A and B are shown apart, each in its own frame.
Chain A
């Protein structure tokens, strides 16, 4: 007479749910929990299985994990560094010309702010740095001087003294200062 649980037992014995030695053939939830508790704890699952397979050890695998793709300027997805949510990932799968049409106008998330609010704040912050209409303060001027070279034309005079040394002098304000150094 065929065992009615034979098929189930064969499937379970072929996979990872193999019962321990001495256990009964029929599984119960408590037996499975005991088996899981008795198993040695495995290492945490890595983000990329391919890297885990090819890397010699875990540290190398973690080093090989590619960093997350950064968000573009002015595009912040709920304060994260990329489209992590399922809805955002689905939206990014569309072409750019269709993405705006399929995008929700305002979607309330758990924190109570929509993604539109974060984007507006980011754009305002960036535009404040490069706004040419505002008088530059010290920080903005320092940033502007550091990113681009500024050419200043200054008239100068050069002469050679009796010792053969060349001496050059320039004045930032004509008629004031300059001349030979003492």
Chain B
């Protein structure tokens, strides 16, 4: 069961996921991040694209 942290101020926080195994926890975290990104969008720190020669 994943969780998404959304504060009242509107700032994007983080997500957690847990499971019986390591892979299950990561899958849960992946689902939580997808739900979080679908809700608030991808933050600017992760969407910067550079054209380097």
Query: Which residues from chain A sit less than 8 Å from chain B, CB to CB?
Result: 150, 152-154, 156, 158, 160, 164-174, 176-181
Task: Tell me the interface secondary structure of chain A in the complex.
Answer: loop
Determine the interface band of chain B, counting residues with CB < 8 A from chain A: 20 to 34
How far, in Å, is B44 (CB) from chain A's closest CB?
9
State whether A173 touches B13 (Cβ < 8 A): yes
How many A-B Cβ pairs are below 8 Å?
Answer: 91
State whether A178 touches B16 (Cβ < 8 A): yes
- B26-45 with Cβ < 8 A to chain A: 26, 28-29, 32-33, 36-37, 40, 42-43, 45
State whether A165 touches B14 (Cβ < 8 A): no
State whether A166 touches B19 (Cβ < 8 A): yes
State whether B18 touches A168 (Cβ < 8 A): yes
A176, B12: Cα distance in complex, Å: 8
- Chain A residues near B12 (CB-CB < 8 A): 172-173, 176-177
Contacts A/B (CB < 8 Å), 8 sampled: A152-B37, A156-B26, A158-B22, A166-B25, A168-B28, A170-B16, A172-B15, A173-B11
Q: Which residue of B17, B21, B32, B46 is within 8 Å of A152 (Cβ)? A: B46
State whether A177 touches B5 (Cβ < 8 A): yes
State whether B25 touches A152 (Cβ < 8 A): no
Given contacts A154-B33, A158-B26, contact A179 B21 (CB under 8 A): no
Q: Which residue of B13, B22, B29 is within 8 Å of A172 (Cβ)? A: B13
- Chain B residues near A168 (CB-CB < 8 A): 16-18, 25-26, 28-29
State whether A170 touches B46 (Cβ < 8 A): no
